[in-house]
Structure 1
Amino acid sequence: MTRVLMITLVLEAIVFGLAVPGMVTVSGIALPLALGLGGAAILLALVAAATLRSGLGFALGWLTQLAALALGFATSTMFFMGGVFAVLWIATVVLGRRIDAAR
């Protein structure tokens, strides 16, 4: 389960980086603000992925999902992408716990 969650967070970091140009060109957000928002979200996702083996990593992972949805206020596409990643995160956590319990 941890590997799949880690991969999800790394892919999320990539999407956060790709959202920066969308914030600037589509939503008209100033470049420094877009870089700050995207950079903070990227940092959060990567720190969550790096610390996923501890309880802190799971908490940061949930916070990353909220950050992904919150980026939707900067560029509307992130509401959809954040929702997709949140569903992936929840499904992985739920199914992973079921598999771990079955062992």
Structure 2
Amino acid sequence: MRTLCASTLIGEFFVIGFAGLVAMQLSDLPAATVWTVSGIAMLLCVLLCGMLTRPGGVQLGWVLQIALIASGLVIPAMFFLGAVFAALWWASVHYGRKIDAAKARWAAQGETAGDPVADPA
């Protein structure tokens, strides 16, 4: 799950940065406000990559997804991009957990059946 979710977050990092550039040109907000909000969101993306396996990491990811959708109030295209990334986040969490469970089952089967790679006898 960690790899899929981290990939989604890194993609969001770049989208938020580019959205900040667009917001500077299209909104009436001061550049300092745009970059403070964008910078915090970008920093949160990077920090969440390391927090995914800790309690609350995935939930904070959902908060970030909601904030990304809400940024559509400033840049209307972000409603669409936020929804796309929320769908990617859901898929990363959902399928990542399935992959983790399958890996755990596979590892358990290897331990009980004797690993032919580790035990060539």
Q: Distance in 1 between matches of 2:87 and 2:101?
A: 21
Alignment of 1:49-88 (within 5 A): 49-88=49-88
Conserved 8 A contact 1:48-1:57:
yes
Determine what percentage of the aligned residue pairs are the same residue.
38
**1:39 corresponds to:** 39
Conserved 8 A contact 1:2-1:53:
yes
Q: Distance in 2 between matches of 1:5 and 1:78?
A: 20
Please list every run of at least 4 consecutive aligned residues from structure 1 whose deviation after the TM superposition is greater than 4 angstroms: none
Conserved 8 A contact 1:48-1:56:
no
2:56 partner SS:
helix
2:75 partner SS:
coil
Q: Distance in 1 between matches of 2:23 and 2:12?
A: 16
**2:48 corresponds to:** 48
TM-score after normalising by structure 1: 0.88
Question: What letter is aligned with 2:95?
Answer: L
What's the C-alpha RMSD, in Å, of the aligned pairs?
A: 1.5
Conserved 8 A contact 2:8-2:92:
no
User: Unpaired segments of 5 or more residues in structure 1?
Assistant: none
TM-score after normalising by structure 2: 0.76
Alignment of 1:17-32 (within 5 A): 17-32=17-32
1:53 partner SS:
coil
Question: What letter is aligned with 2:94?
Answer: V
Which region of structure 1 is more displaced relative to structure 2, 47-56 or 92-101? 92-101
The count of aligned residue pairs is: 103
User: Unpaired segments of 5 or more residues in structure 2?
Assistant: 106-121
